Amino acid sequence: MSAIELTKLTLRRSGRTVLSGVDAVIDEGEFIGVFGPNGAGKTTLLQALLGLLRPESGAISIFGQPPLHGNPLAGYMPQRRAAMAELRLTGWDVVASALDGHRWGLPILGAEGRRQVAWALETVEAVEFARRPIQHLSGGEMQRLLLAQALLGKPRLLLLDEPLISLDPRYQQAVVDLVKRVQQALHITVLFTAHELNPLLGAMDRVLYLGGGRAKLGTVEDVVNSAALSQLYGAPIEVLRVGGRIIVVAAHGEVEAHAHRHDA
């Protein structure tokens, strides 16, 4: 069974069409890098997969089912963390808050709940700093906690929205490697949005490029080349390969700055 099937999917946001007529099939166990300039619709797509945004037209199928608000099969790591930065609570408490956090009642975890939190923290190698207040954690440590949180409930699909944002290159690679290890250990499907292609090159099975309301899914060779990207963006794009790294350049400046800007 495929993990995700998009059929003629059109998504609109405040009257603006963000994606239109997108077709894509993602297999179970794939690691997909999702790229595109700011505003291309990466977050919007993830939110539609989570059932937070209803398609204008077309269909989404997740493990054969339509998207479901609160789907236990999908683990999610949101892009924006408004409340987080100045918290003086421990990582453990923050991670644990997501375990059945939508249910009414007292936040009593019980032995089984504590086991699940401990499992998630071990899986992302965050045990040693989980007792520290998150205020004092580095960006990379923070991302590991958020990943642990997304793993609670053992989802089969992980939707990670810009986990590399504001990390320096060394930590970027560490986070990608960690996600890859987790993905392989648990045999789950991963959608990983990012602005920078290179840290993900070793980890991705395929890429999904979004731009100009359209999408292109395929291997790095098939999608990240001048012809394919120029067609997607409707502007001339050059792709250079330098010592195992890929550099995407717009022939006329504009697109490149947007397409692969570091959001640090």
Partner 1 sequence: MPIATMLDYDFMRSAFAAGLVVALVAGAVGYFLVLRHLAFAGHALSHVGFAGATGAFLLGLTPFWGLLALTLAASTAMGLIGERLRGRDIAVGVILSLSLGLGVLFLHLYTAYAAEATALLFGNVLAVSDANLRALAALAVVSLLGLAAISRPLIFATLEPELAEAKGLSLRLVSVLFLLIVGIAVAEAAQVVGVLLVFALMVSPAAAAQRLTTRLKTGVALAVLLALAETWAGIVLAYITDAPPTFWITLLSSGAYLVALLVPQRLEAASTRP
In this complex, which beta carbon is closest to partner 1, that of residue 91 or of residue 211? 91
DSSP lists the bridge partners of residue 215 as 210
100 binds, among partner 1, ligand ATP, Mg ion, none (CB under 5 to 8 A by kind): partner 1
According to the binding rule CB under 6 A, does residue 18 interact with ligand ATP? yes
Q: Provide CB contacts within 8 A for 115, sequence distance 6+.
A: none
In this complex, which beta carbon is closest to partner 1, that of residue 8 or of residue 131? 131
**Contact with partner 1 (CB under 8 A) among 7, 61, 84, 173:** 84
Binding mask 17-56 for partner 1 (x = CB under 8 A): ------------------------------x--x-x----
Shortest CB 39 distance to Mg ion, Å: 8
Binding mask 150-179 for partner 1 (x = CB under 8 A): ------------------------------
Q: SS3 string of 141-183?
A: HHHHHHHHHHHCCCCCEEEECCCCCCCCHHHHHHHHHHHHHHH
Q: What is the DSSP letter of 30?
A: -
According to the binding rule CB under 6 A, does residue 40 interact with ligand ATP? yes
**Contact with partner 1 (CB under 8 A) among 83, 85, 111, 227:** 83
Q: SS3 string of 95-128?
A: HHCCCCCCCCCCCCCHHHHHHHHHHHHHHCCCHH
Q: At what angle do helices 169-186 and 110-123 cross, to 10 degrees?
A: 130
- Interface ranges with Mg ion (CB under 5 A): 42-43, 79
